[in-house]
Structure 1
Amino acid sequence: MDELSRVIRLPPYQYLHVLDTNNNVTRVLSGPQTYTRQDHEKIVSGPSPMIIVPPQSYVVIENPVVRSVEGIVIVDSYGQAKLRHGEREVRTSTQFTDPFPLYAGEIVSGSVQKLTVLDAKSALRIRANRDFDNHAAGDEWHFVGPATYLPRIEEDVVGTIKASVIKKNQALKLRADKKCVDCFGITRDAGEEWLVRDPGTYMPRVDESVLGVLNATILTDKASIYLRALRTFKDIYGIQRKAGEEWLVTSKMAETHVQDVHEEIISHVPITTLTNRQYCIVLDPIVNGNQQLGTRELRRGETSFFLQPGETLENGIQDVCILADDEAVLLQANESFLDKDANGAPLQRLPGVKWMVYGPCEYVPPIQVNVLEIRKAIPLDKNEGIYVRDTKTGKVRAECGQTYMLQPTEELWEKKLPDEVEELLRKDAYVDDNGIGRGVFIRDATRVVTFEVPHNTAIQIYDYSSTMSRILFGPTLVMLSPDEQFMVMKLSGDVPKRVKVIKTLCLQLGPDFMRDQITVETSDHARLRLTIAYNWHFQIPSKQGESPAKIFSVRDFVGDACKTLASRIRGAVAVETFDHFHKHSAQIIRSSIFGLDENGEPKSELMFPTNNLCITNVDIQSAEPVDAQTRDSLQKSVQLAIEITTKSQEAKAKAIAMKEDEEAKGLLVTQQLENQTEAEKARKRLVELSAQCAAVEAEGAAVATAKAKAQAAEIEALAAVKQAELRVQAMQIEHDSQMLRLQSEHELEIQHAKQMAELEIQKKRELIAIEADKFKSMVDTIGQQTIVEMARAGPEAQVKLLASLGLQGYLITDGKSPVNLVNTAQDLIRNITSEK
């Protein structure tokens, strides 16, 4: 067992390290071999697989062995392989095509890695980690593709760089990491930025950083860009720009523009287009390349332009004032200038002066003029008007019944009305005569206030300037002057009456009625609640010299009249007993209100001389006791009278109902007897018809049975005949189909055999053609002369062989090729004769 443990069998591509304990030298043993370990030897490591480097791969070895120029490992005097301690070595598949073992002390750094393959748009950033060749430690450079990068110990790969693709209308923005020379041969300082505009691929240099790709701004006839210089430089158009300078780039300069590193895009400026009906005012315009600060310039269409840096539009694009024959524009001069009047004569306009230009015309205001408003002639009917105020004198007047154009020193004046008047006018506008709403009412304060006074009404209007009032009777239309106001009447309303319930502008002249509810007490202390309606009207003064304003002397005539009449009624009722008042209430109340004439009869009316209010009639609508006991007693007496009347009517109705009931019973019995007679007659007729129907039914059944049996027999015979015919036809169809099937099978077999024969013939023909073509191609390839030479090669060789042996008249053959000996004897005799 101990002897077997010393034997080590190394398979191919494996190795182990053996330490000789006598001289302390470690050697490498590589397979395939069988190794017997000695007593003074010790296996340090292994067996281990050899290092295999595939194609396009590499491996890094630390502490590599020292090799000679021929690649032989150098050992010291003790036989130990020398190592480069602390160094590394890159081994590739081209150097080590076969697997190799590691010597004692060698270490694999990492694993086997693939070589980096770079395309045409890629590069590696390399940094030197030590001085070698022409590079100092820390130097950086690019390894540009397409190529395969072979790593070196002196180099470190910092990163991968991709080439930037610059398309048309694009530019690549670069920045120098340190002082360098760019691709244009220009020296760049550290931190300096620039653009590369040439389309194509660009590989940045080692001292350059790519900041990004800039897209060009497309410039059209309707779009431009507004730029500002960040520092003094010369732009792409060869113009020197100073720091802070602003300018405009349009399509006239270039189709596209890429923002330079020293430029800043402030905004995109659209084109300003004016039609022949538009104009604009440009503030701080640029004239001949110089900006005129604080000035204004008028530009009228048709035209198109871009606003230059520093230029702005005052109030935007404005429309030309197109005035009709009923329009005018109000103007005001903001500075002194020379103008022309309507006749074309020169006219000096002073600052602040207002004037108007009347249509029809087109008017474009100069820059010295402000357009205050466009005025239009106001058409007014005879019942319409406006309030006009003179701005110089302050006087306000009303213009009615004509089309009016405001003058330069005039303006519309708004007339203010009290809130309660506004509310009354609004209600009147909301509802028509039928009580239907008209919609939203918005009063134009500049229009003359108008009010339609209804029929049989009166209205009072007060003029504050003359301290006079005027009375108008309807139907009429009221138009207020600037200093006039409506007098609002506040009347009592509801039942019982409450003050200031009704607000109105018009006074109803009557006839009309008003209701009131009062409480009275009789002499026997019975309290009653009376609901009374009064008919009234106003008497209009007809005498010369009497003022119609008398009817407005009492503002709340309803409340005053009701109070006066209620006091008269209370005084009259207080002296009467309840029973007497209950029986003669109407006469008592009328007498108390109207009074008695010379005959002791109530008068026909009551006149209030203060305001000519006339009460013509009194109607007692209800009289209810206030005390509960009195009300119950009165209610019981009324109910007893109603009950007596109801019972008498009920008895009379019962007698009439009994009479009608007896008459109905007699008519019913008579009708029943007549109905029974008619029923017996109908029953007799039914029995006769039933007997006739039974006889007809029996006869029909017998005839139908006989006919059915005969038809059944006939149908069975016809069916048997038809069945036999169909069976024969079926057999004939089966026989025909069998014959057709056999005929089709035979035809298909014949056709199949024929096609197979044709295919075989075609196959033979194609094979023969292929062989012929093959032989022909072989003959053509070898050549006719070559075949002749090949045929003649054998006999000529034999002739030469015989000639060299000195033999004549001999023939050498292999016995397989035929030999023509027909004329051989004659030729031999001829040859012998000739020799003799």
Structure 2
Amino acid sequence: MANIIRIPPHHFIHVLDTNSNVTRLDVGPKIFIKQDHEKVVTGKDPVPMTSIPPRSFAVINNPVIRNPDKSLSIDKYGQVNVRHGDQEIRFHEDYPDPFPLYPREEIIGRVTALRVVAPDTALLIESERAFTDEEENKRQPGDLWYFKGPGTYYPRIEERVVREVEAKKIKVNQALKLRAQRELTDIEGNIRKAGEDWLIRTPGAYLPGVYETVIETLEAKILTDYKAIAVRATRAFIDVYGIKRKAGEEWLVTSEMSPLHIIDVYEEFIGDVKITVLDKNQYCVVLDPFDKELGTNRYGFKEQRWGERSFFLIPGESLEGGIKNKYILADDEALLLRAKEGLHSEGEDRKPGDRWMIYGPCSYMPPTQVEILEVRKAIPLHINEGIYVRDIKSGQVRSEIGKSYMLKPHEELWEMELSDVVEELLSQQGQARTNKTRVVTYKCPANSIVQVYDYKSKVSRTVLGPNLVMLSPDEQFTVNILSGGKPKRVGVIKTLHLMLGPDFSTDIIEVDTSDHCRLRLQLSYNWKFNIDKSDEETHKQVFKVRDFVGNLCNFMASRVRGAVAGASFDQFHRESARIIRKSVFGLDESGHVNDDFKFDENNLVLTNVDIQSVEPVDRQTKERLQESVTMAIEITTQTEEAKARHASERQAQEAEGQLEKLRIEGQLKVEAENNKLYLLKSQTENVESEGIATATAKAMTEKNRIEAQSKKDAAELNSRAEKLKRENEINHTKEKQSLEIEYQRKIDDLEITKARRLAEIESEKFKGIIRSIGSDTLVAISEAGPKMQAELLGGLGLTGYMLCDTENPINLFNTAQGMLGAAANQQPNN
């Protein structure tokens, strides 16, 4: 049985005849009996045929060769000829039925569905051998082209699919930038060289050419009345507006040219340019303005533009200092101007460097040849205020005081410099300077004097207080440095004014008695300056002694030491006041102590001396003196204590009796108030008990009323709920019954409509059959005998119809035997 092979339908085997070495094809269905000289080369089991479904293909290797009449090419040995090393693509249209593979034929891979190319896509095809396609295009190896969708791609052996290419979507206000890989003709018919860039601006789907590379998608720049763009040409070309542009040229694209602009391939985007708007009180200076006649910028020039107007700055132009406002001057304002170039202004010829002023009230817009140095305003000055003014031509400085002053063109404010010491003293007096151009003032206190020195005239002047000192530009304050502290030290006090007195100065000195007892004295000197307020020379004498306090204290200390040195300790202890006053003031001719002492060099008069303390410097002396003083103090203290004790005991007895009296009176008042309190408590308790009982009764009444009302409300709500429930059930039943009635009515209507439509169809069908038979035929049938009727009906193919009139429409189909009788030989069809 191994030599018998059953080949089912659509199967085949290859059988090798070992005698002739020829391999043949056997196709089922059949029973193959293998001979001894035959060999099945396809295996034990038959091989199924290849079936290509619709819209599919298969690739066959070593395909058979066919003659022009589609028959197989067979060699002289009976072997089917094949194209060795070649391939063939077979489609369903050519092979709708399953087909076997001839000897040496092989199927590559599996049966593959045809490739469907969607709209806006394409397949990039490359030719692998020279051939001529269906459109008579001669293709050479390496050629590239597109198979564009929508469509179904049928592959060829001579070509291969490189990749699928999708069309680029170009939206409105977009453009596609392309670059040529080699010389070609673009979609618009323009010849492009290798490496050349161009734009596709038409909205829609664009499929780049085979040798076109998409660089990027460009978005359009939106231009408005308030925004433009500046671009630069990278090479000479003609732009989209038909204007010739040179390499490096810069220009503006505004909304007047186009509402949208896409940067061309030979254009370089510089930036957005906003519109410059000037109102009627504004102006600007444009540097390097653009000249439309020359078509270029006038570098180094300036152009003034004023409102009301608006414009875009052309590339190369710039604003000097931005948009400026016209100078609106009040009647107390002015502009200081300086000419940068020669010009004629205000009725005069101005040379470069000239300075002049424009006074208000007015509005002024300076030309480009004029530089505005500053806006000046009249400086209002009080009678006690002033400013320093410097003439820049002569260099002289003067002060203007007590009037409103406007600086002249050749004048400027000058700052007065003071020493650090003077600045500090002014700050301590609360008169610190914030504006150094203001005249320096100092409030001289009452009964004081200030000296001011003029370095220009080398003359000093004095001012008596209370008064306001105002310095001229060449004057400076005289700083007074006085001694201070206890004992006096040099340079402790710094001040701008000297008090005229009367005042005092306290000093501590050490003296020695004749018995060598060393004492420390604290003396206070009362002094004053004795000057004539109407004589300025006496005023200046006050400042002849630089440190009059130190001079006074040192001079008097030396006189006191001399006087104390001639007296013993006991004598000085008994007569210290006389000794010191005698040494300070001296004696007159009659031997009495003088009332004062005068310093003639500065008219300082010493009017009194006060001995504030006398203390021995030696410790033992101090202790003995302290003991005697302490004993005296103790005796005095004990006497005073006894007197105070007696007085306090008497006062205590009086206070105690008064207190007991007050206590008894208070007790009586308390008892009276307690009686009133108990009475009020009893009344309060009665009211409280009555209130509690009344409130309890009212609460119980309200409770019962609320419970009854709640039960009533609950009963009403339950009744209403039950009523609503019943009404809902009734409504639900009514709605359900109405829906069922409506549903049944619609079903009946549909049944009636269906029966009516079927009757109409049958009527139309019957009418059509009658019309197809014809009235003559019916007449002949009615007149002919049964045999003739049968023959006629047999010839017409009608075996089951019955004739009747329209008044009795009896539809007895499939009853031809009863109508035609036994003459009908054919059996009726059910």
Classify the TM-score, shorter chain. 0.7 to 0.9
Matched residue, 2:64? 66
- DSSP-derived class of the 2:381 partner: coil
**Is the 8 Å Cα contact of residues 64 and 105 (structure 2) preserved in structure 1?**
no
- Matched to 2:146, the amino acid is H
Q: Give the superposition deviation at 1:146.
A: 1.3
**Is the 8 Å Cα contact of residues 521 and 611 (structure 2) preserved in structure 1?**
yes
- DSSP-derived class of the 1:231 partner: coil
What does 1:466-505 correspond to in 2, within 5 Å? 466-505=457-496
* 1:43-72 Cα shifts (integer Å, max 9, x gaps): 8799999988776666666x4543647999
- Matched to 1:213, the amino acid is T
- 578-587 vs 309-318, which moves further: 578-587
- DSSP-derived class of the 1:773 partner: helix
CA distance in 2, matches of 1:375, 1:65: 107
Which of residues 168, 182, 185 is equivalent to 1:181? 185
Question: TM-score, length-normalised on structure 2?
Answer: 0.73
- DSSP-derived class of the 2:320 partner: strand
- 583-592 vs 748-757, which moves further: 748-757
Matched residue, 1:538? 529
Matched residue, 1:726? none
Matched residue, 1:508? 499
- Matched to 1:379, the amino acid is P
Matched residue, 1:782? 765
- Matched to 1:484, the amino acid is E
- Matched to 1:358, the amino acid is Y
**Is the 8 Å Cα contact of residues 285 and 368 (structure 2) preserved in structure 1?**
yes
CA distance in 2, matches of 1:782, 1:20: 68
Structure 1 pair 461/777, CA: closer, same or farther in 2 (3 Å)? Answer: same
**Is the 8 Å Cα contact of residues 65 and 81 (structure 1) preserved in structure 2?**
no
Q: Within the alignment, does 1:773 sit opposite 2:772 as a pair?
A: no
Q: Give the superposition deviation at 1:172.
A: 2.0
CA distance in 2, matches of 1:746, 1:158: 76
Q: Give the superposition deviation at 1:168.
A: 2.9
CA distance in 2, matches of 1:296, 1:262: 31
- DSSP-derived class of the 1:308 partner: coil
Structure 1 pair 607/203, CA: closer, same or farther in 2 (3 Å)? Answer: same
What does 1:629-668 correspond to in 2, within 5 Å? none
**Is the 8 Å Cα contact of residues 531 and 538 (structure 2) preserved in structure 1?**
no
What does 1:77-156 correspond to in 2, within 5 Å? 86-87=85-86, 115-133=114-132, 134-156=138-160
What does 1:433-444 correspond to in 2, within 5 Å? 441-444=432-435
What does 1:256-655 correspond to in 2, within 5 Å? 256-290=260-294, 291-341=297-347, 347-429=348-430, 441-522=432-513, 527-541=518-532, 546-574=537-565, 585-597=576-588, 602-623=593-614
- DSSP-derived class of the 1:616 partner: strand
**Is the 8 Å Cα contact of residues 15 and 46 (structure 1) preserved in structure 2?**
no
Structure 1 pair 657/100, CA: closer, same or farther in 2 (3 Å)? Answer: farther
CA distance in 2, matches of 1:750, 1:332: 106
CA distance in 1, matches of 2:571, 2:500: 37
- Matched to 2:359, the amino acid is Y
Matched residue, 2:786? 802
What does 1:187-266 correspond to in 2, within 5 Å? 187-266=191-270
- DSSP-derived class of the 2:256 partner: coil
- DSSP-derived class of the 2:357 partner: strand
* 1:168-215 Cα shifts (integer Å, max 9, x gaps): 332222211110111121111111111222222222111211222222
* 1:256-299 Cα shifts (integer Å, max 9, x gaps): 22222122233333222222222233334344522444433333
Matched residue, 2:135? none
Q: Give the superposition deviation at 1:136.
A: 1.2
Structure 1 pair 418/659, CA: closer, same or farther in 2 (3 Å)? Answer: closer
Q: Give the superposition deviation at 1:330.
A: 2.7
* 1:670-713 Cα shifts (integer Å, max 9, x gaps): 9999999999xxxxxxxxxxxxxxxxxxxxxxxxxxxxxxxxxx
Q: Give the superposition deviation at 1:496.
A: 3.5
- DSSP-derived class of the 2:423 partner: helix
Structure 1 pair 408/26, CA: closer, same or farther in 2 (3 Å)? Answer: same
**Is the 8 Å Cα contact of residues 21 and 42 (structure 1) preserved in structure 2?**
no
- 530-539 vs 752-761, which moves further: 752-761
- Give the RMSD, CA atoms, in angstroms: 5.4
Q: Give the superposition deviation at 1:456.
A: 0.9
Structure 1 pair 676/47, CA: closer, same or farther in 2 (3 Å)? Answer: farther
Structure 1 pair 761/307, CA: closer, same or farther in 2 (3 Å)? Answer: closer
* 1:732-786 Cα shifts (integer Å, max 9, x gaps): 99xx99x999x99999999899889968975884476355434434345435575
Q: Give the superposition deviation at 1:602.
A: 4.5
CA distance in 2, matches of 1:201, 1:260: 20
CA distance in 2, matches of 1:265, 1:750: 80
Structure 1 pair 759/452, CA: closer, same or farther in 2 (3 Å)? Answer: closer
Q: Give the superposition deviation at 1:42.
A: 8.6
Matched residue, 1:712? none
**Is the 8 Å Cα contact of residues 14 and 48 (structure 1) preserved in structure 2?**
yes
Stretches of structure 2 lacking an aligned partner (at least 5 in a row): 133-137, 671-711, 791-799, 809-830
**Is the 8 Å Cα contact of residues 781 and 788 (structure 2) preserved in structure 1?**
no
Q: Give the superposition deviation at 1:549.
A: 0.6
- Matched to 1:124, the amino acid is L
- Matched to 1:317, the amino acid is I
* 1:528-583 Cα shifts (integer Å, max 9, x gaps): 55444333222114696853211001122222223333334444445556666566
Matched residue, 2:703? none
Aligned residue-pair number: 741
CA distance in 2, matches of 1:165, 1:386: 77
- 414-423 vs 528-537, which moves further: 528-537
What does 1:712-723 correspond to in 2, within 5 Å? none
Structure 1 pair 148/554, CA: closer, same or farther in 2 (3 Å)? Answer: farther
**Is the 8 Å Cα contact of residues 128 and 138 (structure 1) preserved in structure 2?**
yes
- DSSP-derived class of the 1:173 partner: strand
CA distance in 2, matches of 1:370, 1:282: 15
- Matched to 1:376, the amino acid is K
Q: Give the superposition deviation at 1:249.
A: 2.6
Q: Give the superposition deviation at 1:609.
A: 2.2
CA distance in 2, matches of 1:131, 1:255: 52
Structure 1 pair 786/47, CA: closer, same or farther in 2 (3 Å)? Answer: closer
**Is the 8 Å Cα contact of residues 177 and 197 (structure 2) preserved in structure 1?**
yes
Structure 1 pair 676/370, CA: closer, same or farther in 2 (3 Å)? Answer: closer
Question: TM-score, length-normalised on structure 1?
Answer: 0.72
Structure 1 pair 562/409, CA: closer, same or farther in 2 (3 Å)? Answer: same
Matched residue, 1:688? none
Q: Give the superposition deviation at 1:349.
A: 3.2
Stretches of structure 1 lacking an aligned partner (at least 5 in a row): 342-346, 431-440, 680-728, 807-812, 821-836
- Matched to 1:305, the amino acid is F
**Is the 8 Å Cα contact of residues 171 and 204 (structure 2) preserved in structure 1?**
yes
CA distance in 2, matches of 1:582, 1:7: 170
